[in-house]
Amino acid sequence: MSKSPTLLSPCQVGNITLKNRVVMAPLTRSRAGEERMPNDLMKQYYSQRKSAGLIISEATVISPQGCGWLNSPGIYSDAQMKAWQPITQALHETETPIFLQLWHCGRASHSSFQENNQLPVSASAVKPNGDYIHTPIGKQSYKTPRALETEEIPPIVEDYRLAAERAKDAGFDGVEIHAANGYLIDQFLQSKTNQRTDKYGGSIENRYRFLKEIIEAVLTVFSAGQIGVRLSPNGVFNDMGCPEYRELFIYVAQQLNSYNLAYLHLLDGLGFGFHELGVQ
Ligand SMILES: Cc1cc2nc3c(=O)[nH]c(=O)nc-3n(C[C@H](O)[C@H](O)[C@H](O)COP(=O)(O)O)c2cc1C
C-alpha cells in the first residue's frame, strides 16, 4: 500500500517540485528603505526561511505609480532587479523556490507616494472609506483617486510584463499576481470600485479584462506553471466587497482555470476581515 503524503512530502506546483508542502505566505516587511531596494537584511530574512517548500515574496511594486506602502521593495529598475539576485541565489543553494508577488496599490496610496504629488489612480474615482494611510509625510486621510483613462491601461499592463521580465532576470522561479486585498487589480474586478463605462467596466467579463491582459502579458515571460494569482473574494480589507462577489469570483476562477497556472491563492478573510455580504 502506498503511504499517504504528509506535510513534509514533496509535491508538484506547476513546473516546480517542492521539497515539502509548507508555503510561506507573502508578508510585507517594509525593510527596503526609501529607494525600495532589496538588501542584506532582506536576504537574511528570506534565508532564515529556506526550509519552506516555496516562498512567496512580500508584495513588490511594479512601478513608481504602484507605490502605496512605506519602504516596500520594487522591481521597476535594473538596480532593484540586481539587488534581488543575492536573495534568490541564497535560496537556490538550498533548493528553495521563491515567487515574486507583483503589486500595484492603485487607490490604496496617497499623492505623497506619487511623482509630482499626483493623485493615486484607480478603476474609478471612488475614495476608500478608511481612517488614514501611513505615508512619507505621516498619517494622512485617504483622497479620492483619479480614474484611469482607457489609454492609460495598456501601459500599466506593460509595467507588469516588464516587472515579470526583471523578476526572471533577478532569478525568481515564478511570480504571483497580487489581485487580492483591494489593490489595483481587485479595484478593477469589484463593482464597488469599478464604475467604468468602457471595455474595462460594467459586466463581470469587462471588469476581469484588466487581470486577463496582465496574465497574458506575464505569460510572454514565464510559463503558466510559473505563475500564481491571489484573490480575496470574502475580504473587506481596503474597503472592499461587492454584492455579486460570488458570481464575480466564480467567473474569475473559471477563467484562470483555462490557463493551467501553477496555483490560485485565496485569502479567505479570516486574517484581514470579512465583508459579510453573504450573511443573510
Ligand atoms: C504583516 C503582514 C504583512 C502582509 N503582507 C502581505 C503581502 O505583502 N501580500 C499579500 O498578499 N498578503 C499579505 N499579508 C496577508 C498574509 O499573506 C496572510 O494571508 C494573512 O496574514 C492571513 O493569513 P491566512 O491567509 O493564513 O488566513 C500580510 C499579512 C500580515 C500580517
Is the CB of residue 68 less than 8 Å from the CB of residue 82? no
Ligand 1 centre to CA of 26 (Å) is 6
Give the pLDDT confidence of 17-56 residue by residue, as tens digits: 999 999 999 999 999 999 999 999 999 999 999 999 999 9
Which amino acid residue places its CA nearest to atom 5 of ligand 1?
A: 27
Nearest alpha-carbon partner for 148 in 190, 115, 107: 107
C-alpha cell at 102: 507583483
> Span 158-180, mean pLDDT?
98
Q: Where are the domains of the chain?
A: 45-266
Active site residues: 183
Protein residues whose CB sits closer than 6 Å to any atom of ligand 1: 25-28, 58-59, 101, 178, 180-181, 230, 267-268, 270-271
Nearest alpha-carbon partner for 134 in 142, 123, 126: 142
Fold classification of 45-266 (topology level): TIM Barrel (3.20.20)
Ligand 1 centre to CA of 209 (Å) is 25
C-alpha cell at 226: 510559473
C-alpha cell at 274: 470579512
C-alpha cell at 90: 541564497
pLDDT bucket at 269, cuts 50 / 70 / 90: confident
Q: What pLDDT was estimated at residue 1?
A: 55
> Span 149-161, mean pLDDT?
98
Give the pLDDT confidence of 203-222 residue by residue, as tens digits: 999 999 999 999 999 999 99
**Ligand 1 pocket test target in 98, 99, 267 with most atoms within 8 Å of CB:** 267
164 sits in which H/E element: helix 153-169
Measured between alpha carbons, how far is 258 from 109 in angstroms, rounded to an integer? Answer: 33
205 sits in which H/E element: helix 204-218
Task: Assess whether pLDDT exceeds 80 at residue 278.
Answer: yes
Q: What pLDDT was estimated at residue 191?
A: 98
- Percentage of the chain modeled with pLDDT above 70: 99
Collapsing DSSP states into helix, strand and coil, what is residue 109? Answer: coil
